[in-house]
A and B are shown apart, each in its own frame.
Chain A
Amino acid sequence: DIQLTQSPSFLSAFIGDTVTITCRASQGISSYLAWYQQKPGKAPKLLIYGASTLQSGVPPRFSGSGSGTEFTLTISSLQPEDFATYYCQQLNSFPQTFGQGTKVEIK
């Protein structure tokens, strides 16, 4: 199975900050990477697929980049509703594994 490692596991930021989360794959996955946001008590919500394509309805302050083994999720001008846990997921090969998550909290 392909392993995904997210960093950091936790980050604390101010409203209005720009934050970046990294996801590294144990082997190349082309651009088959998705990012999800999860709030407490809720199901994950798709933000980005294909490493950089924004899911319909997701604000443009979210962006994704990368290919191969290294990917980033950037949130520009952090808003109160963005404080959540973020997961990456690879869809290059079965099983479609997840990273361990990055919790973004208000400083």
Chain B
Amino acid sequence: QVQLVQSGAEVKKPGASVKVSCKASGYTFNDYYMYWVRQAPRQGLEWMGRLNPNSGVTNYAQNFQGRVTLTRDTSIRTAYIELSNLRSDDTAVYYCARLRGADAFDIWGQGTVVTVSS
């Protein structure tokens, strides 16, 4: 079964960092770009960055440049997003999603709630 399973909810204080994992199963991890998308409460979907698991090459949305880092561990088929210098408006659900060719994001993780509060 093709799936992405994300790590659990996090509560962080402003200024801290958070790292969320996304474990892939049921397909060849290296063959598909991994994207990260977030959704603030009652808001739409916001693209944050993408990772080529094969090469490790990353691209980031301008809004998050300097604060976001995408990495992966191919030995355990897991992608990571780390967001630093957290602010209250980073409170959101963070999703990983697989890009299938040029078609669509066909597989999504279940989401990880990150709450930033003092």
Contact = CB atoms under 8 A, between A and B. Distances in A.
Interface of A: 32, 34, 36, 42-46, 49-50, 55, 87, 89, 91, 94-101
A98 B47 contact: yes
The main secondary structure of chain B at its interface with chain A is: strand
Given A87-B44, A87-B45, A98-B44, A43 B109 contact: yes
Contacts of B35: 96
Given A87-B44, A100-B44, A46 B102 contact: no
A49 B44 contact: no
Interface residues on B, range: 20 to 34
Contacts of B104: 34, 46, 49, 55, 89, 91
Interface in B73-99: 95, 97, 99
Given A94-B59, A95-B61, A44 B105 contact: yes
Given A49-B106, A99-B44, 12 more contacts: A36-B105, A43-B111, A44-B105, A46-B106, A50-B103, A55-B104, A87-B45, A91-B99, A96-B99, A98-B47, A100-B44, A101-B45
A44 B106 contact: no
Interface of B: 35, 37, 44-47, 50, 59, 61, 95, 97, 99-100, 102-106, 108-111
Given A98-B45, A100-B44, A91 B111 contact: no
Contact of A43 (B44, B59, B103, B110): B110
13 contacts: A42-B111, A43-B108, A43-B110, A49-B100, A49-B103, A49-B106, A55-B104, A87-B44, A91-B104, A97-B47, A98-B46, A98-B47, A99-B44
